Structure 1
Amino acid sequence: MFGRLLLVILLSLPMARAWADLPETTRAVIQELFPAATVIEDKLPDFPVYPVYQLQQLLGYAYVSTDFTRIQGFAGKPITMMIGLDTRGRFTGVKVLHHHEPVFLHGLGEEPLTEFVNQYQGNALTDQIIVQASGGSGRNRQGDQVYFDGVSKATVSVLIINDTVLSSALKVARNKLDGFTQAAPTRARQDMYRPLTWPQMLEQGYVQQASISPADVESQIGRPLALYPEDMEPEAGAPFSQLYFAYLNSPMVGRNLLGDDGYRALQARFGENDKVMLVMSRGRYTAVAPDFVPGSSPLRLGARQGQLAVELRDLHWLQGMTTPIADGAPAMATMNLFRMGGNAGYNPGAEIAFHLDVSLPRNHLVVDNARFEIPVHFPEDLFETVEADNGQPARAPVWVGLWQERWWQISLTVMALTLLTVFFARQKSLTRHPALIRRFRWGFLAFTLFFLGFYAQGQLSVVNIYTLFLALWDGFSLDVFLLDPIIFILWSYTFVTLFIWGRGVFCGWLCPFGALQEMVSWLGQKLGLRQIRVPEHWHRQLILLKYPILLGLVGTAFYSLTLAEQLAEVEPFKTSITLYFTRYWPFVAYALALLAAGLFIHKFYCRYLCPLGAGLAVLGRFRIFSWLERVKRCGQPCQHCKNECGINAIRKDGRIDYDECIQCLECVVILRDQTQCVDAIVRNKQQQKQARILATDAATT
């Protein structure tokens, strides 16, 4: 009895010391991650992790994510998490300690964020974790790919979280866990090349090949191929599937397979950190399915190096190419370039295990599956050893994957902006066609609201302005602004056009909430609601309100980013455009009230309250040109354009107030319309009168 009591006392001593050294809040969070823990040691002095024990048995390690990686979030600040990793590389849980993601703080709430990070519990670092923008969570049939249910309105934030969790866990695993050590990193030698034929490349191992016979498939599946509804049985003696692998970063391989011009184009297109694998296949069952989506990861083909999954991402670059350049190369059924990497990285000089997953449907309900492992190890003479970077592979920034994933949205946005630029550049000739101008404007406003706004989430915000100021204050990093490609493209375009046309290009054409207000105003007129015209004196005072609002928000951001994000709710953009009015009722009521005001006062919010418009107006004063034409009679005495200007951006003396103008071009249309412009009407009457006088004089003589 005494011996047992002594044992309990001795075991409790280190536990008591460990609890005493830890802050209570930190201890409580780690205890949640490791419920069975009896001992939590203080952070190690040489490596910032907290060892966690159950009595004398090491359970794993807890750590704060920002001690290992500081990937900046959407608001320009990192997302801080406590992460638990057991001794086998499995996540025991993830807890968010602190973040500044506006969509969670003042939009969706914390619940979707908590639900997302809870998906890590029980999954392993050795899995390939794929975040889906929509759809449920789960594993693939083979169990090595895990699909997380993302948050559709917070895609950027959850991808940053995933990258932070995986990259930090990889550093901990490679330093503290068995089986995760990394072989000496290598890179392709750039001084090695000689012309080779296809047979020579196969013989010397520069192209690795694998052949899967019909007998191999039938042996694993246990059924003859002839019994499947689809014709999966190849001709006699032909392989079921034949695959070829080649590492194109090596000039020896790339130049022989793509030719000199193709290899130079490859180098120009992709960065030096991009590791590119050419995968070719032929036979009845190819490496990628016929319905494979270019730019995505293949479902049939996967890879692991050591214990870690290697991500394969199609580069969508070899369109139309079916045969390598090397003499004697056969025609291929598929040829794909894959970027090799992910959080685990890829070491080209070390062996990698590819696997081909074969799925054969018996009918629409039953599918037979088999997996074939394909070890690939290229000759050592292709590579040279490089200095390791603390065991962490060079990785592409988070934004690179985001841009690749949204390539078609980017392409459509760029085309739309190009069209808008041409339209504005040719406005002098196009404004002679009023019907064309109005159709184009309403069509573009619909595109702005429904595609740029509701679909692509391209609503610029005053938050972006003080994020820029904070980034300049704390140390500028372009990566923060590249996280959302649509926002980045729109900001870049807006910034350039501010110095050409002023703020009106964005406020009048590219702001989704502005487009929504235009449509609400049109609806109010069609319903016959009386349109209120704010008296000139009050209008000139009210348009100044948005400037102190802007100044207050920017100043508050330097004092407290959290408070500034809360005050930024003066913008109804998040409620209306980002969250589709699905939000706590006071926010919805506020946004609807602003739109309701717009039924009676044209673009009420834009004119008097918008801090983003104020910021753009300040920069727009440095525009190079004043494109909107005025003539002598504008304002002296003609007031037609002023009376027709819904936003009241024309002064009584005829001058355009570019700080308020939204570049709708209605005044230019009037100026070029011979039946509307008073100056044109007077000139025509004078010409007619002069013509009558001349005719009379001619008749009398």
Structure 2
Amino acid sequence: MRVLTCILMLLFGGLVILVEPVSRDDIESYIRAPFALGAALYENGVYSLLNSGGADAGYVFESKPLAPLSGFSGAPINMLIVLDLEGRFLDVQLIEHNEPIFVLWLGEPLSTNSSSNTGAFRSRIPSLSEPRTAMQQAGRHWSIWTGLQKRRQVVRIVHESVMGAALTVAREKMQGLATAPPAFPDPDYQEELNWQDLIDQGIATCKVYTNAQVDALFDGTLWEDDDPEPQYSPDDPYLDLWVVDVGPKAIARAALTTDSYEEVQRFMEISDNDELILVIETVRHGPVSEDFVRNTTPDWISAEQSGLPVALRDADLLVELADNMPDGVAMILRTDRRLGFEPSREWVLKVLAVREHGMFQPETGSVTLDVAHISPERFFDRPEQIVPAPPWLEALRNRQLDLVFLGVFLAALLAV
């Protein structure tokens, strides 16, 4: 099983390396007046955007080369993204997708040939400088656009691809707006810990919701009487969830058996941009539904940081917990730090509590249970960020020799 997992990850890694941007002519066909496509800025398909006067107005790029997140088909969904110089989205258009949900099951509303569908994204995606409010507006619009529950996972992948690619460009080109590179587990940091240490130091987070608390969240809805448990045992736990970031070696060694720890390290050698999150659920809710498929996005669990969604996916690793760990269902999720996830800052795991009303074709309703988590800074390091010099300093450096001669001349003139 481990060998097969490694082979699949290597093959996936090879597919990512082979991702190539589309041609300049194809990109140019998506640019709308009064803008025009400018010069190429990088080899990965990032271009400058020119206004009607020929001045720089922003950036044009694809999502696939910068954030190649796989959809249900196994291939990335490719979007064309146009940002202005301040990080606002001017345009987002669909270039290519192979999603079977849209192609086979539900018609083809997600289409490169339909202006109404590309228009569903245009000017409705959040500004990088105002993420929370704009994200809520975009989320409401996309919920209407998707229409059916099965489409939402694809829309989430589209959103994560757009935001991941935009953050990559922002870090390179937008000084003052771009975020710093995310922290990563320090491979040289050593500390002897056990499970009790993780609890005492707040490294492991536990959140409990009782039957009565969840029942109160459904008050006034169609589903308020669809769970009998709160009537008979209101104080019993509905959700008892543990969250641990096992990216740092010291934490993983304290939470996992030796075999699981070594498997996690092999996984991280191949997927070195992924942060691994261990979740353990010990009571009636469970981390995922019975219909969950391994190595896909969990259907009951999502995450958010600073108002933006965090892409979570099952790591498809066999989990064996260390001694004295909680007895429950455990799984390891992964998220890509390149898409903006910062493991050393607080983030929120969101768990859906789902109820059904009716016997024939029941209506499904849900509420969200929040579990906030943060890992201590000491376990992480971050790449050195090269801050570009201001233009006036670059000008002085370029004329350094001239300034030396000028200084000598002025000194001689002063002496005379």
Under a length normalisation based on structure 2, what TM-score does the superposition of the two structures give?
A: 0.59
2:93 matches 1:94? yes
1:340 correspondence with 2:320? no
Q: Distance in 2 between matches of 1:241 and 1:182?
A: 35
User: 5+ residue gaps in structure 2?
Assistant: 1-25, 69-76, 97-109, 137-143, 388-416
Q: One-letter code of the match for 1:253?
A: I
Corresponding residue for 1:325?
322
Amino acid at match of 1:353: V
Q: In 2, Cα distance between the equivalents of 1:234 and 1:287?
A: 24
**1:316 counterpart SS class:** coil
Distance 1:169 1:360 in 2: 37
1:249 aligned partner: 247
Report the secondary structure of 1:237's partner residue.
Answer: coil
Pairing 1:598-677 to 2, within 5 Å after superposition:
none
8 Å CA contact retained: 2:278, 2:333:
yes
Distance 1:384 1:311, change over 3 A: same
- Which one of 198, 201, 210 corresponds to residue 213 of structure 1? 210
**Aligned equivalent of 1:168:** 165
User: Structure 1 residue 52: deviation in Å?
Assistant: 5.9
- What letter is aligned with 1:276? L
* Corresponding residue for residue 371 of structure 1: 368
SS of the aligned residue for 2:60 comes to strand
Task: Return closer, same or farther for 1:121/1:40 CA change in 2, 3 Å cut-off.
Answer: same
Q: Deviations over 1:238-266 (max 9, x none)?
A: 22212111111222221111123321222
For residues 279 and 371 of structure 2, the distance between their equivalents in structure 1, rounded to whole angstroms, comes to 12
* Separation in structure 1 between the aligned mates of residue 193 and residue 169 of structure 2, nearest angstrom: 44
Corresponding residue number in structure 2 for 1:266: 264
Alignment CA distance shift 1:215-1:185 (3 Å): same
1:289 deviates by 1.8
CA drift at 1:326: 3.5
Distance 2:148 2:65 in 1: 30
Measure, in 2, the Cα distance between the counterparts of 1:201 and 1:358. Answer: 27
Displacement of 1:203 in angstroms is 1.4
CA contact (8 A) 2:60 2:81 kept: yes
5 Å-filtered alignment, 1:77-92, equals 83-85=81-83, 90=89, 92=91
Q: CA shift at 1:336, angstroms?
A: 0.7
CA distance in 1, matches of 2:367, 2:278: 23
- What is aligned with 2:382? 385
Instruction: Name the counterpart of 2:49.
Output: 50
Residues 37 and 47 in structure 2, CA contact (< 8 A), matched pair in contact too:
no
8 A contact 1:48–1:67 mirrored in 2: no
CA deviation string 1:517-552 (max 9, x = no partner): xxxxxxxxxxxxxxxxxxxxxxxxxxxxxxxxxxxx
- Distance in 1 (CA, whole Å) between partners of 2:297 and 2:254 is 26
Decide whether the 8 Å contact of 1:138 with 1:147 is kept in 2: no
| Contact persistence 2:204–2:242 (CA under 8 A) | yes
Answer yes or no: is 1:294 the counterpart of 2:294: yes
Q: What is the aligned partner in structure 1 of residue 350 from structure 2? A: 355
SS of the aligned residue for 2:167 comes to helix
Match of 2:190 in 1: 192
Is the 2:160–2:339 Cα contact (8 Å) retained in structure 1?
Answer: no
Residue 177 of structure 1 and its aligned partner are, at CA, apart by 9.5
171-180 or 302-311: bigger deviation:
171-180
Aligned position for 2:237: 239
- State whether residues 233 and 240 of structure 1, in contact with CA within 8 Å, keep that contact through their aligned partners in structure 2: no
Deviation string, structure 1 residues 25-76 (Cα, Å, up to 9, x no partner): 99985335xxxx6x879779999532669xxxx9x845144998598xxxxx
Deviations 1:578-613 (CA, angstroms, capped at 9, x unpaired):
xxxxxxxxxxxxxxxxxxxxxxxxxxxxxxxxxxxx
**Is the contact made by 1:189 and 1:250 (CA closer than 8 Å) also made in structure 2?**
yes
Correspondence for 1:31: 32
Q: Which residue of 2 aligns with 1:124?
A: 125
Structure 1 unaligned runs (5+)?
1-24, 72-78, 98-110, 129-135, 150-158, 391-701
Alignment of 1:180-579 (within 5 A): 181-182=179-180, 185-196=183-194, 198-222=195-219, 227-229=225-227, 231=229, 235-270=233-268, 271=270, 272-318=272-318, 321=320, 324-327=321-324, 329-332=325-328, 334-341=329-336, 344-363=339-358, 364-388=361-385
SS of the residue 2:369 aligns to: strand
State how far apart, in whole Å, the 1-side matches of 2:123 and 2:352 are: 25
Matched letter for residue 315 of structure 2: L
Amino acid at match of 2:370: E
What is the CA–CA distance in structure 1 between the aligned matches of 2:63 and 2:218, rounded to whole Å? 47
> For residue 444 of structure 1, what is the aligned residue in structure 2?
none
SS in 2 for 1:287: coil
Which stretch of the first structure deviates more once superposed, 357-366 or 202-211? Answer: 357-366
Distance in 1 of aligned mates of 2:306 and 2:336: 13
- Paired residue secondary structure (1:275): strand
Contact 1:318/1:335, CA 8 A, preserved across alignment: no
Structure 2: distance between partners of 1:91 and 1:232:
49
Cα-to-partner distance string for 1:604-662 (whole Å, 9 max, x where unaligned): xxxxxxxxxxxxxxxxxxxxxxxxxxxxxxxxxxxxxxxxxxxxxxxxxxxxxxxxxxx
Task: Report what 2:414 is aligned to.
Answer: none
> Does the Cα contact within 8 Å between 1:92 and 1:121 map onto a contact in 2?
yes
Question: Percent of aligned pairs with the same residue?
Answer: 17
Aligned-partner Cα distance in 2 for 1:66–1:294: 25
- Measured in 2, the distance between the counterparts of 1:275 and 1:312 equals 10
The equivalent residue for 1:138 is: 146
Q: Give the SS at the match of 2:241.
A: strand
Query: 1:325, CA displacement in angstroms?
Result: 1.2
Relative distance call for 1:65 and 1:268 in structure 2 (3 A) is closer
Structure-1 separation of matches of 2:309 and 2:40 = 29
Name the CA distance, whole Å, in 1 between partners of 2:205 and 2:219: 28
Contact 1:243 1:281 in 2 (8 A): yes
Question: Does the 8 Å contact 2:67/2:164 carry over to 1?
Answer: no
Q: Is the 8 A contact 1:311 1:342 kept in 2?
A: no
Check 1:223–1:202 CA distance in 2 against 1; reply closer, same or farther (3 A cut): farther
The residue type equivalent to 1:285 in the other structure is H
Contact 1:361 1:367 in 2 (8 A): yes
Distance in 2 (alpha carbons) for counterparts of 1:307 and 1:361: 29
Partners of 1:52 and 1:62 within 8 A in 2: no
CA contact (8 A) 1:354 1:374 kept: yes
**Superposition deviation, residue 92 in structure 1:** 2.1
Indicate conservation of the 8 Å contact 1:277/1:338, yes or no.
yes
SS of residue paired to 1:30: coil
Matched-pair contact (CA < 8 Å) for 1:275–1:340: yes
Distance 2:379 2:256 in 1: 17
1:147 equivalent to 2:144? Answer: no
Alignment RMSD (CA, Å): 4.8
Which structure: larger Rg? Answer: 1
